[in-house]
Amino acid sequence: MGINLLPIEIDEIRKRLRREPNEAEWKVIDAVWSEHCSYKSSKIFLKSFYMEGPNVIMGIKDWQDAGAVDIGDGWAIVVKVESHNHPSAIDPFNGAATGVGGIIRDVISKGAKPIALLDMIRVGDLTLSKNRWLLKNIIAGIGFYGNSIGVPVVGGELAFDEMYNDNPLVDVACIGVVRRDKIVPSVVNKPGLKLVLAGLTGIDGLGGASFASRKLSGEDEIGAVQIADPFAGKIILDATLEIADKVEAIKDLGGGGLAVAVTEMANGLGVIVDIEKIPLRVKEMNPIDIIISETQERMLYAVKEERVNEICKTFEQYEYPCSVIGEITGDKTIRFRYNGKEIVSLPSELLLNPPRFLWSIKKKKKELKKYISSSDIELEKALHSVLSHPDLVSKEWAYSQFDYEVNTSTVIKPGEADSSVILLPNGKLLAVKGDANPDLCDEDAYECGKGIFAEAYRNLASVGAKGIVAVDHLQFGDPKKPEVYYSFLEAIRGIGEASRFFNIPIVGGKVSFYNENSKGKEIKPTPLIVMAGLVKDKFLRNKVEENSYIVLIGYTRGELAGSLLSKIFGISSEVPKARLQEDIIASELVIDSINNEKIIFAKDINRGGLAFALFRMMTYGYGVHINTRDILSDTDNIIDVLFSENGGRFIVLTNDPQWIIDKAKSKGIVASVIGKVNKDSGVLSLNEIKINLSNLINYYFNFLEEVMKNG
């Protein structure tokens, strides 16, 4: 049958139906019950997230295409995150481009105008030509779609690990804005509505949901990858926003195609679809392929009968296909007919209620390998090894391929600070950031779940914003492997605890399992948090000035497990604990300092530790001198002090350090002056030691462009 169902599921289907499904019905069930669409191994746990709050309009419990929160003045923002990992491994250009197209359609399905994209990308070792080819085409695909459709890519992440050699991760998030009273649901609650489909259906993307719900086989599965057409996507965007207030519900045709879209839109009611009425890109398509095709740039609308002509007339003006293909019924049965013959007849209840799986769990055992002590590492070697790591270099090579200033709403551009800032229609400023830390999650997924949530919160604070909403993406290997499932559950526990502590609701997200390389080795656990927040009063655009004081906010701990230093050298150390109280208080101090115009530069300390935060200042063309003896820490080892990545800390530049120190004391946290900026460009002075890092600064700016010339 070519389906991806487990034997226990096949038996369950026959038992519930009391008959043998035909081929078309097996394909429909396979799509709707796929892990990609049904969340059958995860849904029960996602309900444990904090997802309430006075500003939440739509969230996880509503199972809409995207989440929405109120931002005041009658406006709301819509947030969604998705991935296109498997497609990007096979066809990186179209895989990444259609990931952008899909996330944009999720946002416009709420009646919201997309205003910003973020891309979070992880690929393998750049010394391998295949990984350079993957990265080059992933970036090109994202730029092609975003630039063509006029939605700016304002930020993201780009990181490298050999674990992603055969299975790159391509995450895309989208932010949209809409008047609160204009938000459109994705589901209906009454029969009699007509189903209107816009767009052409083709043979690309066949079985894509099933493909995304199994391991990459290494065989050519190019047919499961959709083809991107951003110019058609722009028509869908413009026309959908034009008719949004004239329809009852909007659904993007994504994973599982029509099979999933009509089932989810009906929300337990029934549907009847006449397949021959569906506009086709390819003549004489197999009816079953029409049902499960995942061709892009298509949308489904539930419309009152008297408004059907008005809706299709809008698309006629764009010369874009539009057809009434069926209607919502009250018989709670999903039906597909072809030239009057019924080829699918399945209960909605069956399709919407797949078995829920709870797999075995087992804590991962530490690998028995030789570790070294951080005190055995020579200082200059540590600096050069960490600061030259590809994760830390400038990502301008990637950002330069994106039109991040289209619509002129980008206030802080990608790479300028820890978060990007965009101007909203109500005049408010919104900061956005995506964060993950696979190395830490590989050590302790629970602490990592808390840590990445806290890091996103600090990143927003560094530009003057307070987080108000988050979405998550949980990316793991095969959930049937006990160690994988254990990490998954621990990450959920950590993220949920942090979201409740910060009082920031998680309004949506995605789960992506079966991320493994060609040898069957799963990726490192890679949960991701995308957070958005409003600038409280003023925002900070970083600058560096000679003679400004360097102040370290927060306490440094010699916890190096999961750090970049440990990854490079193999250090035995403790996992950094997420002390969320320190994160929130330090963030409040930074926001207060920005609003009182007391600082000119702020960076939270995370990847690369204090060493990279200082180095980032130096990329502005200055030198820095610090006295490590002035750093408040539980260790006097200079390596630990420089490269620990424990949270709750910021580096800021100020001309009034006492104000910050006094303010920190009043809040119950520590802050100390640890040095000053000087004009000795490229020189890092540590106590009495001077280290020239000029070559590393050149490397920082040029590495990616140079290495990708051979891509």
84 is in an annotated binding site: yes
699 is in an annotated binding site: no
The per-residue pLDDT for range 591-628, each reduced to its tens digit, is 999 999 999 999 999 999 999 999 999 999 999 999 99
Give 284 or 315, the one with higher predicted confidence. 315
The CA distance from 614 to 685, in Å, is: 11
472 is in an annotated binding site: yes
Active-site residues: which are they? 36, 84
The per-residue pLDDT for range 436-445, each reduced to its tens digit, is 999 999 999 9
Q: Which residues contact 348 (CB under 8 A, 6 or more apart)?
A: 263, 266, 268, 269, 270, 271, 332, 333, 334
H-run or E-run covering 638: helix 638-643
Mean pLDDT of the chain: 92
Q: Does the pLDDT of residue 569 top 70, yes or no?
A: yes
86 is in an annotated binding site: yes
Q: Does the pLDDT of residue 408 top 70, yes or no?
A: no
**Mean pLDDT (whole number) for 449-467:** 98
Q: In sequence order, what DSSP letters do the residues of 45-112 get, joined into one string?
A: HHTTS----TTEEE-GGGT-SSEEEEEETTEEEEEEEEE-HHHHHH-HHHHHHHHHHHHHHHHHTTTP
**Mean pLDDT (whole number) for 444-470:** 98
User: What pLDDT, on a 0 to 100 scale, did the predictor assign at position 519?
Assistant: 76
The per-residue pLDDT for range 495-550, each reduced to its tens digit, is 999 999 999 999 999 999 999 877 788 999 999 999 999 998 999 999 999 999 99
CA-CA-CA-CA torsion sign (499, 75, 176, 152):
negative
The CA distance from 246 to 52, in Å, is: 29
Question: Token digits for 708?
Answer: 């990708």
Q: Which residues contact 378 (CB under 8 A, 6 or more apart)?
A: none
pLDDT band at 215 (very low <50, low <70, confident <90, very high): low
509 is in an annotated binding site: yes
**Which domains are present in the chain?**
1-32+184-354 (3.90.650.10), 38-74+89-171+394-538 (3.30.1330.10), 542-711 (3.90.650.10)
User: What pLDDT, on a 0 to 100 scale, did the predictor assign at position 598?
Assistant: 98
Scan for tokens 């140079």, then name that residue: 706
Beta bridge partners of 68: 58, 78
The CA distance from 578 to 558, in Å, is: 13
The CA distance from 322 to 404, in Å, is: 32
With CA atoms as reference, report the closest residue to 495 among 459, 445, 458.
445
Q: Does the pLDDT of residue 364 top 90, yes or no?
A: no
Give 561 or 222, the one with higher predicted confidence. 561
**Mean pLDDT (whole number) for 213-242:** 73
The CA distance from 407 to 116, in Å, is: 10
Ranges of H-type helices in 438-521: 438-443, 445-461, 482-502
The per-residue pLDDT for range 229-268, each reduced to its tens digit, is 889 999 999 999 999 999 999 999 988 899 999 999 999 9
Which of 1-10, 151-160, 413-422, 646-655: highest mean pLDDT? 646-655
252 is in an annotated binding site: yes
Apex 236 CA angle, 307 and 177, nearest 5: 90
State the greatest distance between any 2 C-alpha atoms of the chain, in Å, as a whole number: 86
105 is in an annotated binding site: yes
**Mean pLDDT (whole number) for 419-425:** 93
Q: Does the pLDDT of residue 120 top 90, yes or no?
A: yes
In three-state secondary structure terms, 526 is: strand
**Rounded percentage of the chain residues whose pLDDT exceeds 90:** 80
362 is in an annotated binding site: no
pLDDT band at 711 (very low <50, low <70, confident <90, very high): low
The per-residue pLDDT for range 123-145, each reduced to its tens digit, is 999 999 999 999 999 999 999 99
**Mean pLDDT (whole number) for 205-227:** 52
Write phi, then psi, for 475 (nearest 5 degrees). -120, 120
β-pairing verdict for 506-512 and 526-535: unpaired
Q: Does the pLDDT of residue 658 top 80, yes or no?
A: yes
CA-CA-CA-CA torsion sign (570, 571, 575, 579):
negative
Q: Does the pLDDT of residue 216 top 60, yes or no?
A: no
- pTM here is 0.94
Count of C-beta atoms within a 10 Å radius of residue 586: 28
Give 337 or 91, the one with higher predicted confidence. 337
The CA distance from 677 to 549, in Å, is: 7
Amino acid at 396: E
H-run or E-run covering 272: strand 270-274
The CA distance from 311 to 308, in Å, is: 5
Q: Does the pLDDT of residue 1 top 60, yes or no?
A: no
Residues in the chain: 711
83 is in an annotated binding site: yes
Centroid of chain to Cα 681: 36
Q: Does the pLDDT of residue 211 top 50, yes or no?
A: no
Judge contact between 652 and 599, C-beta under 8 A: yes
For the chain, the first-to-last Cα distance in angstroms comes to: 40
User: What pLDDT, on a 0 to 100 scale, did the predictor assign at position 222?
Assistant: 43
Scan for tokens 């295949």, then name that residue: 130
Centroid of chain to Cα 286: 35
Which of 213-217, 365-369, 580-584: highest mean pLDDT? 580-584
